Chains A and B, each alone.
Chain A
Amino acid sequence: MKLQCALVSVLAASMCAGQGLTAKKAWTPLRTANGQPDLQGVWTNATITPLERPADLAAKPFFTPSEAAAYEKQVVENANVDRRRSDVTTDVGLAYNEAWWDRGTHVVKTLRTSLIVDPADGKLPALTPEGERRAAALAERRRLHPADGPEDRGLTERCILWPTAGPPMMPSVYNNNYQIFQGPEYVAIMVEMIHDVRIIPLDTRPHLPSGVRQWLGDSRGHWEGNTLVVDTTNFTDKTKFRGSSENLHLTERFTRTDPDTILYEYTVNDPATWTKPWTAQITMTKSASRVYEYACHEGNYGMMGILAGARAEETSSANAGAK
């Protein structure tokens, strides 16, 4: 408890004081055989801290340790799906018993009340008119064509991408596990959710030509002191991180602040979607677990069930109309 509080206060104090995001600590980072700061191993970013600061915590960017403990207790109890909900649509949506979920039970180690650290209010910036139009067009398309065919369903259900798997990497409902490997010229990040591996060259080669688009974008890394900085462009127009455009420019920063913690920060710059850039920060914790395969196509009976359900509803509506 004392150790944790000490860590929290160091991280929080350094950020409160505006000293940047690298914790100022008397800790010498471990090094790999070739002298790079060592980020290797399995890490989890499971946390109950929300991306955006809830309205009633608007004036409170940080919890105290006791407030964090109270918040954690209440959120975990509230989220427990073993408690059945009276609204059946919600109840169906909660899917299955709590044992299958792994959302984490703690807030981030910085004790921030939102993952977003910039803007200072912890909220996403406003969408641009173009961003709003794009979001509305997508919503309208989904309303008109919810499940005509598999292509109408989201990337997650189609086992193509998970919106939290990254880049940027966000906490999700389970499979929040990552393994980082380092070589002299590359860093590789294996992501349990959807089990992609992102290969990040560390040399100075330019990004791919703008006509070449990839689901995970095109990442380039370099070291700034003890921080790995990864710059990613060349996303597809289907990747859409929280509604982003294909010109999303993402900058991630990985800093190991102690043996058990990586401070992970990302900045989203997409002037076609948001009125200004925004930055989020998550603490990743060293895990004794291993990363398991998440072979999403292995048994995706759910897609069949969703499409069959949509056809059954159409038949039912047609029969009702014919009467």
Chain B
Amino acid sequence: MRSATRIGIVMGAALLAAAPVWAHHAFAAEFDGKKPVKLEGTVTKMEWINPHAWIHIDVKDADGKVTNWMVECGTPNTLLRRGVNKNSVTAGMAIVVDGYQAKDGSNRANGRDVTFPDGKKVFLGNTGTGAPGDAPEK
């Protein structure tokens, strides 16, 4: 166990260096950290397009007024490898988006966290689940 302890100490700063890198574009340039939004709505469509997929949802406010929002997600290629396809997110599904609104104030947000109303993740899967693009398990 001695080596395990040593590696634990050794890797402190290494982990900082391994922070995630940016996606295709700078999300912090597009979305506003000062405008967090929580959108509970119904999917109207999902655009399976590159470089980023977009989910469109209708969100009803307290007065019953419905507004359509666009939610930016990641590259669809990865999802496809994880077994998610166009039948996985369909019109009529209730979802919750916890993200940030576009800087220009339009009804666009990033899909920082996309869940079902019960809190379960819409996009299951994680790196290391044995997705085909992942390196083989040791």
Chain A contacts to B: CB under 8 angstroms: 1, 4-5, 44, 46-48, 50, 52, 54-57, 60, 63-67, 69-71, 74-76, 78-82, 84, 88-89, 91-106, 146-147, 153, 156-157, 159, 172-177, 192, 260, 285, 287-289, 292-296, 298-303, 305-306, 308-313
Contacts and interface: CB of A to CB of B under 8 A. Distances in A.
8 contacts: A56-B14, A76-B128, A88-B34, A95-B23, A95-B74, A172-B21, A296-B51, A313-B103
B26 A157 contact: yes
A106 B138 contact: yes
Contact of B136 (A89, A285, A298, A309): A285
Nearest to B9: A56
Nearest to B30: A305
A88 B33 contact: yes
A101 B20 contact: yes
Contacts of A312: 103-105
Contacts of B42: none
Indicate the member of B24, B52, B123 with the most A CB atoms within 10 Å.
B24
Nearest to A60: B10
Interface of B: 3-4, 7-8, 10-15, 17-34, 36, 47, 49-52, 54, 70, 72-75, 77-82, 84, 100, 102-106, 108, 110-114, 121, 123-128, 131-136, 138
A305 B108 contact: yes
A81 B20 contact: yes
Given A96-B110, A101-B74, A311-B104, A294 B23 contact: no
Nearest to A291: B77
A294 B24 CA distance: 11
B26 A287 contact: no
B75 A175 contact: yes
A174 B77 contact: yes
Contact of B84 (A99, A106, A176): A99
